[in-house]
């Protein structure tokens, strides 16, 4: 199971001051620590991948989560004729290169236009709030259903 994770508007609100960066990541990590979700791996789909290496981004996570951060999606913005659904295409490109067909996946993102309408693999957050405590149950349910 692959979890594609955006940062801005997900792990912290956007806009966000330096003091609040990743202030909600612990909520997502708590869900991933649950026994039935131990096999979920994280791939960074955030634009942060353009400015930070994978090793540096692993350090944003709690120590017990760092080994579960296994990659970053490719940047397809330059290749896109239009930006519509580009994040979903980046996720699919990563999967095609790194996992067998049919690998279950879920993306947590705050930009619905970067995914096809009603994408069943998208867990949507509110940009100005980021991931909220009330979303832990629904996230768990979506992950378990796909796992």
Q: Domain ranges in the chain?
A: 2-146
Assess whether pLDDT exceeds 60 at residue 82.
no
Give the rounded percent of residues in the chain with a pLDDT score beyond 70.
Answer: 96
Tens-digit pLDDT profile for residues 35-47: 999 999 999 999 9
- pLDDT at residue 147 greater than cutoff 90: no
Identify the band that residue 100 occupies on the pLDDT scale cut at 50, 70 and 90.
very high
Residue 77 pLDDT grade (very low, low, confident, very high; cuts 50, 70, 90)? confident
CATH number 3.40.1010.10 given to 2-146: no
The SS3 assignment for 108 reads strand
Dmax over CA atoms of the chain, in Å, equals 42
The confidence score (pLDDT) of residue 18 equals 87
């Amino acid at each position: 199971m692959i979890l594609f994770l955006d940062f801005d508007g997900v792990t912290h609100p956007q806009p966000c001051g330096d003091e609040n960066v990743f202030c909600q990541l612990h909520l997502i990590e708590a869900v991933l620590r649950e026994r039935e979700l131990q096999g979920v791996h994280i791939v960074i789909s955030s634009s942060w991948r353009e400015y930070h290496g994978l090793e540096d981004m692993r350090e944003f996570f709690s120590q017990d989560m760092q080994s579960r951060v296994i990659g970053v999606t490719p940047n397809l913005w330059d290749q896109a004729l239009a930006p519509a659904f580009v994040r979903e295409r980046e996720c699919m490109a990563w999967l095609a290169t790194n996992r067998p067909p049919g690998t279950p996946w879920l993306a947590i993102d705050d930009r619905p236009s970067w995914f096809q309408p009603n994408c069943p693999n998208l867990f949507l957050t509110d940009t100005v709030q980021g991931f909220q405590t009330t979303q832990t149950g629904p996230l768990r349910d979506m992950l378990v259903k796909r796992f």
